[in-house]
Chains A and B, each alone.
Chain A
């Protein structure tokens, strides 16, 4: 389902439909998290991505008023370049995935408790406290940057 809706994101002609399909994709991914017993991550994924970020995306796209008629015709060479770049990316991804050992590592459904909020909090604030703090500093700097741009 996640894959199907992700494909629909790309092939929908209307950008608003694309965004809505992306939301469906997030729902499907959250479903995967919950199946893997990571309820906290699943629901936070929904709140943050589907609930907040995609709303902002939707804002922008709705206000831009994109229609099929106003869409500029793309250059033929540009299309070719896009195909080549996409093909290269696919090649790299396939090569990287080929290395990974997938067999015998299928995630067991409903087991594991790292996604439960208690264990997640413990892991974040003991084992991974430095990366956690660094990422919060990153967020802070992004916020300051947004404010600076907004003040102009």
Chain B
């Protein structure tokens, strides 16, 4: 009895470990090719060719960039705090990767008679966990900026941190409206409710819009990339960094972009649901494993569309001024999301009451 229990636990551990390794490497590879895609999209929008030397169509460019960053000399300024200087990029990277733990990447797969859920941790506070990790991401920026012992870095870090914590509020408020509809904080349940029915974006268009804008701000992407405003702050909070530590900061941004696209797709666009197709019927005809593959692909396609929008916006819209940014966040988005929340609450109450006052 005891050994059987242990064996099951061992399988469980192996299953989760494989899942973690797979998801981490997938997000790293996707982030790697995001850098490539970003340059290609920028080139396309600006009527250039983009990277095309390394490999066919320049496809090996991210590898070359990574190699370059690894080979470069690593400089640690001797006035800075050594430990915190190294901790900064580590934290940024860690916080970027941790969110992927609660996202359901697909349905179940059947592996040698064992049902495997394609989600690392199905905790019942999934969305709050995402928020917790996002708020940890601020420390990567702040510690890095402060430990560099440089005025520009410090200014940029303060800008970045205040931007992130002010945009967390409308983000949370827009999600509260969503949670009233779904009645659950579990990511898997939210996706499950959207399977073969209307996506949440049709119930919460305003909530989605607010969340979308806030996601831009949280990822420090243009038009909200004030922490990296080159013409005002030299280079931003990672000015003193060189070599792969700089690479980690830049990489963390791309991973954040990927993860926030995944979160948006999961919460508002049905996650791994395949649109226009009855999933249950398809599962019966093609089998569980193939279905999980299709679902994963469908999620990835949704995510790629979001990432493209991220890049499209970056190369189209100019940067905000700092006071405009704060005005938009505190005076524009927060009241809007509060109104959204109250209207949703009233409608949910009415519906539960049978549409009677």
List chain A positions with a Cβ less than 8 A from chain B. Answer: 16, 20, 23, 39-40, 43-44, 46-47, 50-52, 55, 58-59, 62-63, 116-117
Contact = CB atoms under 8 A, between A and B. Distances in A.
Contact of A40 (B128, B138, B157): B128
Contacts of A47: 128, 131-132, 135
Nearest to A54: B139
Interface in B82-140: 84, 123-125, 128-129, 131-132, 134-136, 138-139
Given A50-B135, A50-B136, A62-B154, A55 B161 contact: yes
B142 interface: yes
B154 A40 contact: no
Interface string B38-69: 00000000000000000000000000000000
Contact of A39 (B123, B131, B165): B123
12 contacts: A16-B84, A20-B143, A39-B123, A40-B128, A43-B132, A44-B128, A50-B135, A50-B136, A55-B161, A62-B142, A62-B154, A63-B158
CB-based closest 10 A-B pairs: A51-B135, A46-B132, A43-B128, A43-B132, A47-B132, A62-B146, A39-B125, A47-B131, A43-B125, A47-B135
A144 to B, nearest CB: 16
Interface string B160-175: 0110010010000000
Contacts, number: 58
Given A51-B132, A62-B154, 20 more contacts: A16-B84, A20-B143, A43-B128, A43-B129, A43-B132, A44-B128, A46-B132, A46-B135, A47-B131, A51-B138, A51-B165, A52-B168, A55-B139, A55-B165, A59-B162, A62-B142, A62-B158, A63-B158, A117-B124, A117-B125
A51 B128 CA distance: 12
B287 to A, nearest CB: 35
A23 B139 contact: yes
A59 B134 CA distance: 18
B185 interface: yes
Name which of A39, A55, A63 has the most chain B CB atoms within 10 A of its CB: A55
Interface residues of B, number: 24
Interface of B: 84, 123-125, 128-129, 131-132, 134-136, 138-139, 142-143, 146, 154, 157-158, 161-162, 165, 168, 185
A59 B185 contact: no
Nearest to B154: A62
Contacts of A117: 124-125, 185
A59 B139 CA distance: 11
Nearest to B131: A47
Contacts of A62: 142, 146, 154, 157-158
A63 B145 CA distance: 12
Nearest to A58: B142
Select the residue from B132, B138, B142 with max chain A CB neighbours within 10 A.
Answer: B132
Given A46-B132, A52-B135, A117-B185, A40 B125 contact: yes
Given A16-B146, A47-B131, A52 B165 contact: yes
Contacts of B165: 51-52, 55
A52 B165 CA distance: 7
Nearest to B158: A59
